[in-house]
Amino acid sequence: MLLMRTWLERTLLCLIECGSLLALLGCGSAGPPAGPRIVMTVSPPSALLASGENLQFTATTNEPDGALVRWSVNGVAGGNSTAGTITPAGLYTAPAVQPSPNPVTVAATSIRDPAVKASALVSIASSVPQVGSLSPTVVGVGTANVILTVEGSNFAPSSVVQWDGSDRPTIFISATRLFASIPAEDTSVVGTVPVTVFNPPPGGGTSNSADFTVEGGWEDNFDGTALDEQRWRILNESGPGSVTGEHASFYRADHVVVSDGFLSLGLTQENGAVDDNPNGVISDGALIASRLTYGYGTYEWRMRLTSTATSPAGEGSCAADVLSGSVSAGFTFVNNSETEIDIEYSGYRPDLLYFANWNNLNPLIDPQPGQSTFTALLARAVLGRRQSWCDDFRTYKFVWEPTRITFFINDQWQAEHTTNLPRAAAYFMIVIRGTNQLDWGGTATIGTPRYLYVDWVRYTPPL
């Protein structure tokens, strides 16, 4: 016990002496007393600026010889055009377009000690936007997935296109252009709709409005001496059915004629150079298409199908040996048969008329087997003693609904399709084109002009 107490006494005496010595020496490694902690502030601490406006910032510290700092905006030394720029002296310039996110952070960092910094928040107020123009300005009733381009000024990443006051999904392209997605529900009602752009606070507001028109039903009687190019496009380009070295198919604008209240589309086939073959077949047909797309509703054509008649009421042959090499149709079409509905006539079998609809589920590739529904009608089954469809005018009609497509001739029911039903709005079209093959359309008939005549066409939207 005595030995243990002696050991404890010696240990305590040592600790006491050592502590006194450390106190006298300033605790050894602690060094001289630390100086005052550097403190920095930035003024003003917050601000609201208009696009392009300048503001002087100041950094203040307790350093005896003043603040030596580097300025940054959103962590970028000197800033940039998106968030705004700042000079080495602290003069900030707001960006031309309201940034996203907003506000931005203006920061000063001590050069002596980069751990010391201070910042301010700057909100950039947007201007009131201005709408200059829309594209398109008109669509047919029921048109789906319209991408509306809005041109104007003072647009920002936060800008929103509004359809009759309601927000629509918007993509900011630049301070002068926006894209907006307009769904089919918005085009289901005929009329004129105001389109505006809204910039949210700070600043901002609602623009002036521009009118967008949803067009309803219409009829074209082909009066006058020329096609109504406000409604129709006349194609003047290559057509389908070309075969390398054998057949070249074209649509020709001069094969479209309006006269005496009728539309005439003509087809000629001649021998000529096709690639390296000096004796190929050149087919020159005609195609017109509506400038607008249309959705569900009733589509009608009063037509005399392809014959050799040189006038709407003239005599002409409907025989296969002179009609072979031709296809004519009244139809709707868009986007590689995403929607295609046909009333189609083939010169290879002039006793047959075809009703068809297609629904290409992947328009990036051609339609696949199983994506179409067909009905073929024999002339004698519908017309009695008449053996061809091309000897007179008849009214061909289909009614396109979400659950079915119903086909009529002279208002008499002929067929109903309930499979492969398309949904996308499509262009209203009329065509006559050449073929040179053994099956669909048939081989070319050289030197025999053929004509498709149309009295009137009509589109009626659903009630």
Return the domain boundaries, the chain: 40-125, 130-215, 220-460
Summarize pLDDT for 409-446 with one digit per residue, the tens: 999 999 999 999 999 889 999 999 999 998 889 999 99
Rounded Cα–Cα distance for residues 24 and 424 (Å):
92
Share of the chain above pLDDT 70, in %: 92
Burial of 73 (0-12, 13-18, 19+ CB in 10 A): buried
Helices first, then strands: H and E counts in the chain:
3, 37
- The stretch 59-63 carries a mean pLDDT of 88
* CATH of region 220-460: 2.60.120.200
Residue 160 has pLDDT above 90, yes or no: yes
Rounded Cα–Cα distance for residues 375 and 224 (Å):
36
Residue 91 has pLDDT above 80, yes or no: yes
Summarize pLDDT for 167-212 with one digit per residue, the tens: 999 999 999 999 999 998 999 889 999 999 999 989 899 999 999 9
Summarize pLDDT for 388-404 with one digit per residue, the tens: 899 999 999 999 999 99
Rounded Cα–Cα distance for residues 185 and 216 (Å):
14
Residue 64 has pLDDT above 90, yes or no: no
Residue 219 has pLDDT above 90, yes or no: yes
- pLDDT for residue 32: 52
What Å distances lie between residue 53 and 72, 311, 354, CA to CA? 17, 72, 68
Q: How far does the chain reach from its first CA to its final CA, in angstroms? A: 113
Q: What is the mean pLDDT of the chain?
A: 90
State the CATH architecture for 130-215.
Answer: Sandwich (2.60)
Summarize pLDDT for 248-258 with one digit per residue, the tens: 999 999 999 99
Q: What is the 3-state secondary structure (H, E, C) of 184-203?
A: HHHHCCCEEEEEEEEECCCE
Q: How many CB atoms lie within 10 A of CB 11?
A: 10
- pLDDT for residue 142: 82
- What are phi and psi for residue 230, nearest 5 degrees? -70, -30
Q: Which residue has the tokens 């997605």?
A: 181
Degrees, nearest 5: CA angle 334-356-258:
65
Domain 40-125 grouped into CATH 2.60.40.10: yes
Same fold, 40-125 and 220-460: no
The residue ranking higher by pLDDT, 3 or 104, is: 104
